[in-house]
Amino acid sequence: MATKKNTKKAEEKKAPAVNLWKREQGWDKLDEKELKQLETYCDEYIQFLSKAKTERIAHDIALDMAIKNGFENLDELNKEGKKLKPGMKVYRSCYGKTLFLAQIGKEPLENGLNLVGAHIDCPRLDAKPFPLVEDDKLLFIDTHYYGGIKKYQWTTIPLALHGVVFKKDGTKVQISIGEDPSDPVLTITDLLPHLGNDQAAKPLGTAFQGDALNVLIASRPVDKAKDDKDIGEKTKLRILLMLKEKYGIEEEDFASAELEIVPAGPARHLGLDKSMILGYGHDDRVCAFATIKAMFDAKGIPNRTRAAVICDKEEIGSYGQTGMDSTFMENTVAELVNLTQDTYSDLQVRRALERSNMLSADVCALHDPAFGDVSSPNNMPKINCGVALIKYTGSRGKGGSSDASAEFVSQVRKIFNDNKVIWQMGELGKVDVGGGGTIALYLARYGMNVIDCGVGLFSMHAPMETAGKLDVYMAYKAYKAFYEA
pLDDT at position 317 is: 93
Tell me the backbone φ, ψ of residue 20, rounded to 5 degrees.
-85, 135
pLDDT digits (tens, 9 = 90+) for 62-89: 999 999 999 999 999 999 989 999 999 9
pLDDT band for position 225 (cuts 50, 70, 90): low
The pTM for the full model equals: 0.93
Taking each helix axis as running N to C, give the angle between helix 346-354 and helix 328-340, from 0 to 180 degrees, rounded to the nearest 10: 120
Does pLDDT of 13 surpass 70?
no
pLDDT at position 408 is: 97
Does pLDDT of 444 surpass 60?
yes
Does pLDDT of 395 surpass 60?
yes
pLDDT at position 157 is: 97
How much of the chain exceeds pLDDT 70, in percent?
95
The residue type of 358 is M
Adjacency order of strands within the sheet including 364-365:
268-270, 276-279, 465-468, 456-458, 364-365
pLDDT digits (tens, 9 = 90+) for 402-436: 899 999 999 999 999 999 999 999 988 888 887 88
| Domain boundaries of the chain, sorted by first residue | 27-122+280-484, 124-263
- CA dist 250 and 241 (Å) reads 9
pLDDT digits (tens, 9 = 90+) for 355-387: 999 999 999 999 999 998 898 888 899 999 999
- CA dist 198 and 417 (Å) reads 55
pLDDT band for position 226 (cuts 50, 70, 90): low
**Half-sphere exposure of residue 52, counting CA atoms within 13 Å on the CB side?**
29
- CA dist 289 and 475 (Å) reads 10
pLDDT at position 228 is: 60
- What are the distances in angstroms from CA 132 to CA 144, 175, 472? 13, 16, 39
pLDDT at position 15 is: 60
Does pLDDT of 274 surpass 80?
yes
Kindly report the CATH number that applies to the domain delimited by 27-122+280-484.
3.40.630.10
Kindly report the CATH number that applies to the domain delimited by 124-263.
2.30.250.10
Tell me what the mean pLDDT of segment 283-288 comes to. 96
pLDDT at position 230 is: 64
pLDDT at position 432 is: 85
pLDDT digits (tens, 9 = 90+) for 202-220: 998 889 999 999 999 999 9
pLDDT at position 396 is: 80
Q: Which of 464, 393, 383 is nearest to 424 (CA)?
A: 383
pLDDT band for position 10 (cuts 50, 70, 90): low
pLDDT band for position 18 (cuts 50, 70, 90): confident
pLDDT at position 160 is: 98
- CA dist 347 and 246 (Å) reads 54
How much of the chain exceeds pLDDT 90, in percent?
85
Pairing of strands 113-119, 98-103: unpaired
pLDDT at position 447 is: 95
